[in-house]
Amino acid sequence: MSCAVSGCHQGAGAPQGLRLDATSSYAMLVGMAASQVASLNRVEPGDPDNSYLIQKLEGTATVGQRMPLNQAPLTATTISTIRQWITDGALDDRAPSPDPIRVTALSPDPDSNLTAAPTEVLASFDRELNTTSVDVNTFLLERSGGDGTFNDGNEVQITAASITTSGSPPMAAMFDLTSVTMDDDTYRVRLLGSGGTVVQDIDGNALDGEYSGAFPSGDGTAGGDFEVTFTLMTATSGATLDDIQASVFSPTCAGCHSGPTSNSLPAGMDLSSADASFAALVGVSSIQQAAILRVAAGDPDNSYLIQKIEGTAATGQRMPVGGPFLDQAVVDDIRQWISDGANR
């Protein structure tokens, strides 16, 4: 009632990626390193004083503010109860779920737009993992090859610095990206639940992986791959159309604006390649506002593309439709390209 509430440790965008809903909290806390102070675990079984959770609740942590943020501190009785649970070993005493092992959280969030490369991909589960089942064959990361799509043969597999499990018992898996070069592109995370080699729980049950847009994953039957994407668009890219194509148009726009060129939106605006985008945008009148050019070279304020992605256009919805919307740093790159003449 104090932590897993809207705007706090709940759902996509939870601070530090820490979800504290009933399904995710154990895997995200026990034996897991604190993101703010990596030398401490969020919950260290048997040792409440050196559990970062207790330090945050008691206001003794060296980093950040006391939790719950902007609320009254928990009562001494409540904190004492949490301390006793940790002292007793921080056991998972919940009734076993009748469902197969499922993914309960992922960081980066599915469908997120990142402006800095992540240092890891972290997946949490609702059962203890068979640690030998989580490896390079079952925990996969690939980028699209610049076109924002997968299964067309030009994908690039990402090799992890390491793949490990963590927690006590192990209920999380990490794809370590330390020192791994991450290009601007769309990335796909896959945790395999189907086929000969799959992620398993401690009893050998296969992952129930299907993701329908909300956690936990699965359809109630063991088997099925967990597949989600995220997009990396670093703030330093975007001064050229090729950069903008790779980081914005291909992964974010081309799925709707797919061509061929016509007067029927959205497909009639072809943003599937840099050449197609140049032909569809620069000096071309908007269909919705014929008096305005989609891209007026040298004039971003009077370019309909900018008005649509900033949400100031007089007609229709802000783009990308339904969000998430582009970070301002990315919009600024597009503005700069237009200011510089919108060159090919």
Q: What is the pLDDT of residues 199-237, one digit of tens each?
A: 999 999 999 999 999 889 999 999 999 999 999 987 544
pLDDT at 146: 87
The answer to whether the CB of 63 falls within 8 A of the CB of 22 is no
3-state secondary structure of 314: coil
CA dihedral 174, 179, 185, 189 (to 10 degrees): -10
Q: What is the mean pLDDT of residues 24-28?
A: 77
Q: What is the mean pLDDT of residues 284-293?
A: 91
Q: Which of 266, 291, 269 lies closest to 281 in space, CA to CA?
A: 269
Residues 6+ apart with CB under 8 A from 138: 191, 192, 197, 198, 199
Q: Per-domain residue ranges for the chain? A: 15-87, 103-232, 241-339
Candidate CATH numbers 2.60.40.1220, 2.30.30.140, 3.40.50.2300, 3.40.1180.10; the one for domain 103-232: 2.60.40.1220
Q: What is the mean pLDDT of residues 237-252?
A: 82
Q: 206 - beta bridge partners? A: 200
The answer to whether the CB of 287 falls within 8 A of the CB of 330 is no
| N-term to C-term CA, the chain | 54
Q: What is the pLDDT of residues 296-313, one digit of tens each?
A: 988 999 999 999 999 888
Q: Is 19 a residue whose pLDDT tops 70?
A: no
Judge if the upstream peptide bond of residue 266 is cis by omega within 30 degrees of 0: yes
Q: What is the mean pLDDT of residues 171-181?
A: 93
Residues 6+ apart with CB under 8 A from 142: 150, 155, 156, 157, 158, 187, 188, 190
This prediction's pTM? 0.59
Q: Are strands 113-114 and 226-232 parallel, antiparallel or unpaired?
A: parallel
pLDDT at 2: 66
